[in-house]
Structure 1
Amino acid sequence: MDMDRLLAMSRPELDQLFRTSPAGEIPRGEGRGTVLLARGTKVSRAAAALARLLAWQGKVFAPDGKELRNRVTPFGLRAVKAEVYRDGSRLDGAECTVLDYSRTSLLAHRIRDEIRRIGPGVYLGLVYWGRRRVLDFVLNFPDADSWATRA
């Protein structure tokens, strides 16, 4: 999946892509994150770059796939832990990988991310604050071949 295309997609288009994508393997290792802030606008790329520079660079999944830590701040600190498991998506009820912060983070305890594989080593994510969807993101795993064949 081409990043320029993803950055230009509207929320309904991203929803359709998520609905038609499989859960995929639970990721392992480091995924480079891109926030999809201003979908469909000319500022999408700049907004995503600024978010990566100042706030969030991605997620680092444990080798066993049961937890992760986000890479945050301009220094890429590994913080904000989440539990990782399979469950039904809030969007459509079909299986997805859930990134659950409710028992692992005081800061993000109301956050639930859901991801599905949209291409080799590429995952589309939805972010919920409580029951309200607030954001979308993409994770790219350049080393996906090494863990996908073992999953």
Structure 2
Amino acid sequence: MAYDVAQLLTMSQKALDDLFTASPPGDIPNGQAKGTAIIAPGTVYSQDIAEVINLFGWQGKVFDAERGLLKNSITLFHVQAIIARVYKGASWLDGKECIVLDYSETSVVAHYVRDEIRLIGPGFYLGKVYWKKDRLIDFCLQF
């Protein structure tokens, strides 16, 4: 089944988790991805929250697969900042392989943040955000 952002925003947290656990890690992506935060999944507020965050806060990520790094695109001016190391590793959600976006050694601001992504369609990844070991939100990336 092919997914799109609108569908992900209407899915429950359990459905998002099930999709993530059923998906392969895929290849470490390269290039710029449009990001969408998935907060309050499955509620009428999810779309509005995603639009506000995308406009003022976080627009996506720019991957450099060769160097194993990424930068986040943030603020109204699409500043590329907040660097993470990118590698494959075991997911904290289910222990299976995923692509890890690790900020622990590259960012003072996001030192305790870890993202995990898996491929859910061509050029389309679903992600989980952790603060320390606590799950925060989901997100998706479109290349």
In the other structure, the counterpart of 1:13 is: 15
How large is the RMSD of aligned CA atoms in angstroms? 0.8
Q: TM-score, normalised by structure 2?
A: 0.96
Whole-Å Cα distance in 2 between the matches of residues 63 and 100 of structure 1? 14
Task: Determine whether 1:120 maps to 2:132.
Answer: no
Higher alpha-carbon deviation: 51-60 or 33-42: 33-42
In the other structure, the counterpart of 1:59 is: 61
Q: TM-score, normalised by structure 1?
A: 0.91
Q: Which structure 2 residue ranges, 5 or more long, are not aligned?
A: none
Indicate if the aligned counterparts of 1:26 and 1:65 stay in contact, CA closer than 8 A.
no
State the AA in 2 paired with 1:111: V
Deviation at 1:38, TM superposition (A): 2.0
Q: How many residues align?
A: 141
In the other structure, the counterpart of 2:82 is: 80
Equivalent residue runs for 1:131-150 within 5 Å: 131-141=133-143
Indicate if the aligned counterparts of 2:28 and 2:65 stay in contact, CA closer than 8 A.
no
State the AA in 1 paired with 2:80: R
SS in 2 for 1:103: coil
Indicate if the aligned counterparts of 2:61 and 2:70 stay in contact, CA closer than 8 A.
yes
In the other structure, the counterpart of 1:129 is: 131
Deviation at 1:42, TM superposition (A): 1.4
SS in 2 for 1:138: strand
Whole-Å Cα distance in 1 between the matches of residues 89 and 55 of structure 2? 31
Task: Determine whether 1:29 maps to 2:54.
Answer: no
Could you list the runs of 4 or more consecutive aligned residues of structure 1 that deviate by over 4 angstroms after TM superposition?
none
In the other structure, the counterpart of 1:92 is: 94
Whole-Å Cα distance in 1 between the matches of residues 28 and 82 of structure 2? 19
After superposition, the C-alpha distances for 1:82-112 in whole angstroms (9 at most, x for unaligned) are: 0000100000000000000000000000000
Indicate if the aligned counterparts of 1:72 and 1:78 stay in contact, CA closer than 8 A.
yes
Whole-Å Cα distance in 2 between the matches of residues 12 and 67 of structure 1? 30
Whole-Å Cα distance in 1 between the matches of residues 74 and 80 of structure 2? 6
**Percent identity of the aligned residues?**
51
